Structure 1
Amino acid sequence: MTGARIEHLVTSGTFSLDGGTWDVENNVWIIGDDEEVIVVDAAHDAEAIAEALRGRTLRAIVCTHAHNDHIDAAPALAARTGAPVLLHPDDLPLWKQTHPDRAPDGELAEGQVLEVAGVSLAVLHTPGHAPGAICLHVPALTALFGGDTLFAGGPGATGRSYSDFPTIVDSIRDRLLTLPRDTVVYTGHGETTTIAAEAPHLQEWIDQGF
């Protein structure tokens, strides 16, 4: 057995909201060791994610938020592995748009701690991109799994239903930029970044209404 590590998979599909549909590529993050793992955001392709598990025990499927491109493969992956799907309850209205007949298996809440492969994953409630958006802080791996709350270059989008720009700025300022500066942000789409790289730009985002 090796220590806990981070593995990365990119899946492709579509994001649909407010009557529009866009092609997207999503980051799927796998956290764990040779025995057990947690998946962050089961996007688009349950079979590809299951293959990446390579027979390891899946402890949980964590949804950073309930936009369809982050949860569309979650029920199928849960059915295949027996792992519970976890979501912050404030995102249930969004979840039901994609999966009206299948509820999540458990709730995520501020301050909750998940355990896998000897490391702790702390749940941070970071609304703004979506009401129930969360991030996972993993100090042992100097990592933050940020979903669509913080990207390389700025906050996640807030121009559609259930989103709010002042709220996401508050979440980033109060919950994320207070983390150690060397924390690597593993994003829901695109490249990783660090708290140190993004922190100096907070006032610019506010001034621009990003």
Structure 2
Amino acid sequence: MTYPTPITDNKNYKGSGKLTEKVVVITGGDSGIGKAAALAFAKEGAKLSIVYLGDHEDAVQTKMEIEDYGSECLLIEGDVSKESFCQDSIRLTINTYGKLDILVNNAGVQFPQKNLLDVTAENIERTFKVNVFGYIFMAKAALPYLQEGANIINTSSVTCYLGHEELLDYSATKGALWLSLDRFLCHWRQKK
């Protein structure tokens, strides 16, 4: 199945400096929703770290578009399912920009299957490692650096509420994020 190319940049939207001097890390920020968020943040003046896996061409293109808006962009390639990589990504961002204001957990994978019998243990494990473990690992790495007013944003999907006949494991990960990590972060914000 061929999907339309996502629109990642609303050319009619003009930033107003709402995020000037803010530092943002976006996982999966090289394409799709992550790229759209990165470009919107850049228009608002944020400095960005884009965490991506594998598609260096997309990442470089996103970096160029961010820089065209006058923002800075650090590309960090690696796998968010590895806790040490997540820690390294946050440390590299801190070493480059001196602080962290916003973490956007967006990276995700899915392996559509038309039949439940075709869902493999390997794909279930990979989906949970990236879509859940990765979000937790990034949040855990970021928390020590976040000051008053900082935010962690976790992207989810309508599949967490409605399910999807071809995305059993993906739907489960999005539900897990909503039920667990988002509840934890609400509690964390209240304590600060």
Asked if Structure 1 and Structure 2 have the same fold, meaning a TM-score greater than 0.5 normalized by the shorter chain, the answer is: no
Larger Rg: 2
Structure with greater proportional helix content: 2
Scaled to the shorter chain, the TM-score interval is 0.3 to 0.5
Which one has more relative contact order, counting CA pairs under 8 Å at least 6 apart? 2
Structure with greater proportional strand content: 1
